Amino acid sequence: MKFLDQAKIYVRSGDGGDGVIAFRREKYIEFGGPDGGNGGRGGDVVFRAVENLNTLIDFRYTQHFRARKGGNGAGSDRTGAASPNVVIDVPIGTQIFDEDRETMLADLDRPGMEITLCRGGDGGFGNAHYKTSTNRAPRRADKGWPGEERWVWLRLKLIADVGLVGLPNAGKSTLLSVCSRARPKIADYPFTTLHPQLGVVRINATEEFVIADIPGLIEGASEGAGLGDRFLGHVERCAMLVHLLDGTQSRLVAHYRLIRKELAAYDEGLATKPEFVVLNKCDALTPAQIKAKTRALAKASGAPVFPLSGVTRDGLPELLRAVQDRVNAARENAAQDVMRDDLHA
């Protein structure tokens, strides 16, 4: 399945059905009176977040969604049928933007969450609605109200607990492959990873977290260099970041600061997330080199630094345990915030 995290689609709700002009006609009833029914309501366009999707690829092939018009009224005071809603299923974490790509209309970040984006038009009144004591035979009926239409942008931000960031070839995909069952493409050239990958890390029978690997960042990514910062949105929802650095490189501190600069240029909130710094590829370093580079990174970052070898898996259990503890704490805080909001509500 191809990965697509942005799509532009057209949506239109249904028009309301028309009211009708009709009069009762029965044998032996001289003055039947008006009995034209009202029109039915047009269908809504509803977006729903579901759990079994993780890409917007379906919207590359289907870009227009229209709800049906409501049924017209009929004689004998019969109201037209209301049209069914058009329900559009999207992955959890999908944001809906107006055509200007800046105005956010909805953020579907929970399973089963729904938003009615375009409401169907109301049905028009039939002439029975206008019957009064002084107007016994009205000859007026209304057309149904038009529905709503708009072009919208869908943007997917994957839901993950932990985000992997770093320069190209820092070993992010290798780490994802050894700590989960994800099988990303791994090669020895830059930008092997072209789109985000998700993996589920299981520490034990009761503890697990979701980790997201995004394509590597380079200097100027916030201005469009390389693959740009387009995929940073997929780690915006993460509770924390794991920042991988290639231990075989000589300018580690400069590389660390470069990534931090690009994160801050994209979003200050992303740059302030808790992070663990990982000195990767330690299997190619001597113990003295590992110690010196770990000390330098700890001084520059002020964050915990974990020596790691993605190939031999040395240091992997310690890193995953620390990450799981941080994720557990973040989940507890989130649960407390939800309870607090419910009490205030």
12-39 per-position pLDDT tens digit: 999 999 999 999 888 877 778 899 999 9
Q: pLDDT at residue 194 above 80?
A: no
User: Does 216 belong to an annotated binding site?
Assistant: yes
Q: How far apart are CA 159 and CA 238, in angstroms?
A: 7
* Structural domains of the chain in order of their starting residue, each with its CATH number: 1-156 (2.70.210.12), 162-344 (3.40.50.300)
Q: How far apart are CA 210 and CA 297, in angstroms?
A: 26
Going by pLDDT thresholds of 50, 70 and 90, the confidence category of residue 68 is: very high
User: What pLDDT is recorded for position 329?
Assistant: 87
User: Does 311 belong to an annotated binding site?
Assistant: yes
User: Does 79 belong to an annotated binding site?
Assistant: no
Overall average pLDDT of the 95-114 stretch: 90
Going by pLDDT thresholds of 50, 70 and 90, the confidence category of residue 237 is: confident
Q: pLDDT at residue 227 above 60?
A: no
What's the chain's Rg over C-alpha atoms? 29
Overall average pLDDT of the 149-155 stretch: 94
User: Does 193 belong to an annotated binding site?
Assistant: yes
Overall average pLDDT of the 176-189 stretch: 76
Least confident of 51-55, 61-65, 288-292, 323-327: 51-55
Q: How far apart are CA 55 and CA 136, in angstroms?
A: 59
User: Does 215 belong to an annotated binding site?
Assistant: yes
User: What pLDDT is recorded for position 81?
Assistant: 93
Going by pLDDT thresholds of 50, 70 and 90, the confidence category of residue 2 is: low
User: What pLDDT is recorded for position 151?
Assistant: 95
Going by pLDDT thresholds of 50, 70 and 90, the confidence category of residue 1 is: very low
User: What pLDDT is recorded for position 205?
Assistant: 81
Overall average pLDDT of the 217-226 stretch: 63
User: Does 213 belong to an annotated binding site?
Assistant: yes
Q: Is pLDDT larger for residue 188 or for residue 259?
A: 259
User: Does 282 belong to an annotated binding site?
Assistant: yes
User: Does 173 belong to an annotated binding site?
Assistant: yes
Residues 204/180, Cβ–Cβ less than 8 Å: no
Q: Which of 40-44, 158-162, 322-326, 335-339 tops mean pLDDT?
A: 40-44
User: Does 214 belong to an annotated binding site?
Assistant: yes
Residues 14/39, Cβ–Cβ less than 8 Å: no
Structure tokens of 321? Answer: 């345990």
User: Does 57 belong to an annotated binding site?
Assistant: no
User: Does 18 belong to an annotated binding site?
Assistant: no
Structure tokens of 24? Answer: 């009762």
User: Does 55 belong to an annotated binding site?
Assistant: no
Mean pLDDT, rounded, of the chain? 86
What is the β-pairing status of strands 275-280 and 240-246?
A: parallel
Q: How far apart are CA 13 and CA 247, in angstroms?
A: 56
Least confident of 1-5, 43-47, 253-257: 1-5
Overall average pLDDT of the 199-214 stretch: 84
In the chain, the amino acid numbered 341 is: D
User: Does 178 belong to an annotated binding site?
Assistant: no
User: Does 195 belong to an annotated binding site?
Assistant: yes
Structure tokens of 190? Answer: 């830059």
